[in-house]
Amino acid sequence: MEELISVIVPIYMVQEYLPKCLDSILQQTYRKIEVILVNDGSPDNCAEICEQYACQDQRVIVKHQENGGLSAARNAGIELANGDYICFVDPDDYIHPRMYERLHKNLKEHRADISICGYSVVQENEGTTKQSFDEIDAGKESISVFNNHQTLHHLYTELQYITLGVWNKLYKKELFDGVRFKVGKIHEDDFIMHHLLDNASKVVYTSIPMYYYLQRNTSITGQKFNLKRLDRLEALQERIQYFKEKGYEDLYEKAYEHYLNLLFVDYYLIKSSCPEERQVYKNLRKQFIQFFESRGKVGLSTNRKIKYNLFKIHPLLSMMAEYIWKRIDHRMMLR
């Protein structure tokens, strides 16, 4: 007997993309799904599109609510979910017709709690991407299985881009017990992913890209840097504290350096993109120095120690050091 998968789609101002997204979900070869469309007070024609799809397919459930943001919409979908499993699709993205069939098969075969696939970034106005499944059918699919601690480490490896987003995954529903998205924040995945990955005793990953992520210039993350992007720093602060409380010292060190790197980058982005916000980047510099001094130099590479100490003297010095190191690395590669 097939198990029910709840597919949650948070919707706001995406009328030109929504039909393609919903068609890709409803055309899944894994048929036992419910598609929960949460219209988050969208002022365009999204509400009408949702109702049309609900009339055409009884698997579609529509909830209309006042605008509360992406996290509020996803949380509303979780509350409505009746499935054994939960997954998310952003309304401007689309998925391969065999995505849930494959994710579910991998999850069951490896007795995992989360099943992950690769994804492809699609630029706006590109045609529909068609991923060949020849490598799967020929038995050449590359499968990796991790425990929760190993998966958390991949937040800081070359696999970080497949572990961070919530949308290329199939989750056992119970992983969300007591776990919800943080309302009012962007970079909402950064606030929640370490909780979900840690709750999973086993995670299975296939490198086959079955989720198609649309890169839009009008999306929040595609726009010019703005102060709202600093929510990411808050999320990473929470992650550092989480690892500390759990006693994950190795992950704590990695999370700490990752946070310092982003704090360093955001300082320059604010200074160059938002010069009128002088107090904000002054506070960031102060926060950077306080955070660095409170933790000392534990776990940092020699280059990092030099860069952070130069930043304390003057940010321009650390920037010059970074430029010099990159030039040296480039010349070494040319030899």
Buried b (16+ CB within 10 A) or exposed e, 161-178: ebbbbbebbbbbbebbee
pLDDT tens for each residue of 281-297: 677 777 767 766 766 55
> What is the rounded distance in angstroms from the CA atom of residue 228 to the CA atom of residue 207?
32
Which residues touch 230 (CB under 8 Å, ≥6 apart)? 266, 280
pLDDT recorded at residue 319? 66
**Residue 72: band (very low, low, confident or very high) from pLDDT cuts 50, 70, 90:** very high
pLDDT recorded at residue 309? 74
Query: Between β-strands 202-215 and 94-95, what pairing exists: parallel, antiparallel or unpaired?
Result: antiparallel
> What is the rounded distance in angstroms from the CA atom of residue 164 to the CA atom of residue 166?
7
pLDDT recorded at residue 94? 96
Q: Which pair of tokens denotes residue 103?
A: 């994710």
For the chain, what percent of residues have pLDDT higher than 90?
58
pLDDT of residue 77 exceeding 60, the answer is yes
Phi/psi for 122 (5° steps) reads -115, 130
pLDDT tens for each residue of 46-60: 999 999 999 999 999
Tell me which range, 87-96, 221-230, 255-264, is most confidently predicted by mean pLDDT. 87-96
- Mean pLDDT across 271-285: 67
**Residue 74: band (very low, low, confident or very high) from pLDDT cuts 50, 70, 90:** very high
pLDDT recorded at residue 329? 56
Q: How many CA atoms lie within 13 A of 123 on its CB side?
A: 1
Query: Between β-strands 85-88 and 169-172, what pairing exists: parallel, antiparallel or unpaired?
Result: antiparallel
Q: CA–CA distance from 214 to each of 60, 264, 266, 281, 285 (Å)?
A: 23, 28, 24, 31, 34
Q: How many CA atoms lie within 13 A of 248 on its CB side?
A: 19
- Does 88 or 330 have the greater pLDDT score? 88
Contact 109, 42 (CB under 8 A): no
pLDDT recorded at residue 201? 96
Contact 53, 23 (CB under 8 A): no
Looking at this protein, which amino acid is placed at residue 102? R
Chain center to CA of 243: 19
**Residue 76: band (very low, low, confident or very high) from pLDDT cuts 50, 70, 90:** very high
**Residue 135: band (very low, low, confident or very high) from pLDDT cuts 50, 70, 90:** low
- Does 59 or 257 have the greater pLDDT score? 59
How large is the angle between the packed helices 278-295 and 249-273, nearest 10 degrees? 160
pLDDT of residue 115 exceeding 70, the answer is yes
Q: Which pair of tokens denotes residue 330?
A: 């480039």
Helix (H) / strand (E) element for 284: namely helix 278-295
pLDDT of residue 316 exceeding 90, the answer is no
pLDDT of residue 106 exceeding 80, the answer is yes
**Average pLDDT in the chain:** 85
> What is the rounded distance in angstroms from the CA atom of residue 71 to the CA atom of residue 68?
8
Contact 51, 33 (CB under 8 A): no
Q: How many CA atoms lie within 13 A of 323 on its CB side?
A: 6
- DSSP label at 68? -
- Mean pLDDT across 75-99: 97
pLDDT recorded at residue 120? 92
pLDDT recorded at residue 333? 47
Q: Which pair of tokens denotes residue 143?
A: 């499968």
For the chain, what percent of residues have pLDDT higher than 70?
76
Contact 114, 148 (CB under 8 A): no
pLDDT tens for each residue of 33-50: 999 999 999 999 999 999
Contact 183, 225 (CB under 8 A): no
